[in-house]
Chain A
């Protein structure tokens, strides 16, 4: 019989969960990748771009914001390419992963009854949490990198008639990836705190909706501008990324991410699971 004092890190669980999410991740990554190429494909033709910009001017402000906000206002090709980074469909895909994966790992396994088996092996609750957190955060960042890769591919396929600053898109991808990871951490906190997966998904989705609408509202209504501080979407600002690394915004997102991860870890470790 083997005698172990401290359980080794459960790489098996990490690998098992990774394989379980791989299909979903690949599907989302492919959609995001193709979306970037499609956006670049549409805008690389200058005549079409001009027509699009004229067409865009006729749109009400709310629609322009939804289509890409301040990046579009820049009126340049890179700004238009960046639409693919802020498109609601892309945001939806990110959030699908951010919400679905951590809740599936924690609350989902508890709900299925398999968490009782996992925890009856030489593994600590904290290790289980770290596995879920690691896959969520790295999964989100990997999606952001795939998004950037889509832009790189498109830049090599299409001729835009002007140099495309790929470093800008890398910064946006990192900043966006951090935003998505933060949402993932909030989902992890919800999954660690609530009894069922549906409740955890519901709470995270509500958090996202409130954030998103606060972001839209503060851009449309000057009186509500103060709301920008409470929405995570405020911390991915196009103009700031344009000129360099937005370290203050990255700092805010990282702080929220670390807080949510830590709080989730404490709650997960302390509470009795509803097995």
Chain B
């Protein structure tokens, strides 16, 4: 049984699309990246998972229970960080967090909260309204993690944080997953996703266009070849009729940088007739792979679902 399951989730705001036919599942102890540009439906999906929005169709199951809008389904076991974290301005940070932790039960998390605050270098005695944007975001992180949840739903958790704090938050996410928590990490920041997530889903215009391990997503994009010719021989012109889909990224005297899809066989056969000194295969970054999903002229790639890696870990 998956900890978090989203099945054919569709949400329309009147005639405006939020998310359409989104399906994915996340196993216990897994960190799942949820990628997409603004307006692609990430926040809509997250709010449906939290029961804050009523799906037009489809269903969400968390910890085995079907999420019903407005019912607080399993919320005691979920840590949620909204994309725009806003808190009452007048109470002190500690008081606000305590009030929220106490909703639906007692606040038994004081010790853990203080530990987290220390780790995040956050002064909980200050009024939230007096805090900087970064410190307010730290309060948000603390809010999501303070009750040691089994499921973490995080919408852009490192927004506004400095690189050091960003790293600490990523460490917290990893530690939570190692302790058995299931993490759904929605982000624009691809380096963040590639750093902590084993698998990711990519949204485009409300639809999930990719759902695969990060390594596979990177491989599925354009691949690169850099060819240096012997003694600075001029780089030959690419026969586009024989090698369709091959693009010249960069051309210098004695060097050719190509991009292609699929296997390198045809390119290598063609290049073999020239005096090649050496060949390199630069790694495509997740960012480059990600951007390819949003190239306007390119149709959305067919989704290839990959099974979630099951990870057994001690219960948090």
27 A-B pairs with C-beta separation under 8 A: A1-B315, A1-B316, A3-B76, A7-B104, A8-B104, A12-B102, A112-B88, A113-B85, A114-B86, A114-B87, A117-B82, A117-B86, A117-B100, A118-B100, A120-B50, A120-B52, A120-B82, A121-B101, A121-B103, A122-B72, A122-B105, A123-B103, A123-B104, A270-B54, A272-B54, A272-B69, A275-B47
**Given the known A-B contacts A3-B77, A112-B86, A117-B82, are A122 and B103 also in contact in the complex, defined by CB atoms under 8 Å?**
yes
Annotate A1-25 by CB proximity to B: 1 below 8 A, 0 otherwise.
Answer: 1111001101011001000000000
Name B71's contact: one of A16, A114, A124, A273 (CB within 8 Å).
Answer: A124
Query: B88 contacts A12, CB within 8 Å?
Result: no
> How far is it, in angstroms, between the C-alpha of A125 and the C-alpha of B99 when the chains are bound?
17
**Given the known A-B contacts A10-B104, A272-B53, are A122 and B47 also in contact in the complex, defined by CB atoms under 8 Å?**
no
Query: A120 contacts B86, CB within 8 Å?
Result: no
Interface size class of B (residues with CB under 8 A): 35 or more
Within the complex, the shortest CB–CB distance from B204 to chain A, in Å, comes to 23
Q: Which residues of B31-55 are within 8 A (CB) of A?
A: 47, 50-54
A269 within 8 A of B: yes
Query: Which B residues touch A273, using CB under 8 A?
Result: 52
Name A8's contact: one of B71, B100, B105 (CB within 8 Å).
Answer: B105
Within the complex, the shortest CB–CB distance from B132 to chain A, in Å, comes to 17
- Chain A contact residues: helix, strand, loop or mixed: loop
A167 within 8 A of B: no
A62 within 8 A of B: no
Query: B315 contacts A121, CB within 8 Å?
Result: no
Which of A12, A112, A117 has the largest count of B CB atoms less than 10 A from its CB?
A117
Q: Which residues of A contact B (CB under 8 A)?
A: 1-4, 7-8, 10, 12-13, 16, 112-114, 116-126, 269-270, 272-273, 275
The 4 nearest A-B residue pairs measured at CB: A122-B104, A113-B86, A125-B70, A121-B103
**Given the known A-B contacts A2-B105, A4-B105, A7-B72, are A121 and B316 also in contact in the complex, defined by CB atoms under 8 Å?**
no
Query: Which B residues touch A120, using CB under 8 A?
Result: 50, 52, 75, 78, 80, 82
Which of B85, B102, B315 has the largest count of A CB atoms less than 10 A from its CB?
B102
Query: Which A residues touch B143, using CB under 8 A?
Result: 117
Query: A4 contacts B76, CB within 8 Å?
Result: yes
Query: Which A residues touch B210, using CB under 8 A?
Result: none
Query: Which A residues touch B78, using CB under 8 A?
Result: 120
B150 within 8 A of A: yes
Query: A1 contacts B150, CB within 8 Å?
Result: yes
Query: Which B residues touch A269, using CB under 8 A?
Result: 70
B84 within 8 A of A: yes
> How far is it, in angstroms, between the C-alpha of A1 and the C-alpha of B52 when the chains are bound?
23
Q: Which residues of B contact A (CB under 8 A)?
A: 13, 47, 50-54, 69-72, 74-78, 80, 82, 84-88, 99-105, 143, 148, 150, 315-316
Question: A112 — nearest CB in chain B belongs to which residue?
Answer: B86
Query: Which B residues touch A4, using CB under 8 A?
Result: 76, 104-105
Query: A119 contacts B70, CB within 8 Å?
Result: yes
Name A10's contact: one of B53, B74, B76, B103 (CB within 8 Å).
Answer: B103
Within the complex, the shortest CB–CB distance from B151 to chain A, in Å, comes to 10
Query: B52 contacts A116, CB within 8 Å?
Result: yes
> How far is it, in angstroms, between the C-alpha of A272 and the C-alpha of B50 when the chains are bound?
12
Query: Which A residues touch B104, using CB under 8 A?
Result: 4, 7-8, 10, 121-123
Question: A269 — nearest CB in chain B belongs to which residue?
Answer: B70
Question: A125 — nearest CB in chain B belongs to which residue?
Answer: B70
Query: Which B residues touch A12, using CB under 8 A?
Result: 99, 102-103
> How far is it, in angstroms, between the C-alpha of A12 and the C-alpha of B78 when the chains are bound?
19
Query: Which B residues touch A270, using CB under 8 A?
Result: 54
> How far is it, in angstroms, between the C-alpha of A55 and the C-alpha of B315 when the chains are bound?
81
Query: Which A residues touch B74, using CB under 8 A?
Result: 122
Within the complex, the shortest CB–CB distance from A263 to chain B, in Å, comes to 17
Query: A275 contacts B52, CB within 8 Å?
Result: yes
Name A126's contact: one of B70, B86, B99, B102 (CB within 8 Å).
Answer: B70
Name B75's contact: one of A1, A113, A122, A272 (CB within 8 Å).
Answer: A122
Question: A273 — nearest CB in chain B belongs to which residue?
Answer: B52
Query: A16 contacts B86, CB within 8 Å?
Result: no
Question: A274 — nearest CB in chain B belongs to which residue?
Answer: B13
Question: A2 — nearest CB in chain B belongs to which residue?
Answer: B76
> How far is it, in angstroms, between the C-alpha of A122 and the C-alpha of B79 when the chains are bound?
11
Within the complex, the shortest CB–CB distance from A155 to chain B, in Å, comes to 40
> How far is it, in angstroms, between the C-alpha of A29 and the C-alpha of B246 when the chains are bound?
79
Query: A13 contacts B52, CB within 8 Å?
Result: no
Query: Which A residues touch B87, using CB under 8 A?
Result: 114, 117
> How far is it, in angstroms, between the C-alpha of A126 and the C-alpha of B72 when the chains are bound?
10
> How far is it, in angstroms, between the C-alpha of A250 and the C-alpha of B8 when the chains are bound?
51
Question: A16 — nearest CB in chain B belongs to which residue?
Answer: B99
> How far is it, in angstroms, between the C-alpha of A269 and the C-alpha of B87 when the chains are bound?
23
Within the complex, the shortest CB–CB distance from B297 to chain A, in Å, comes to 35
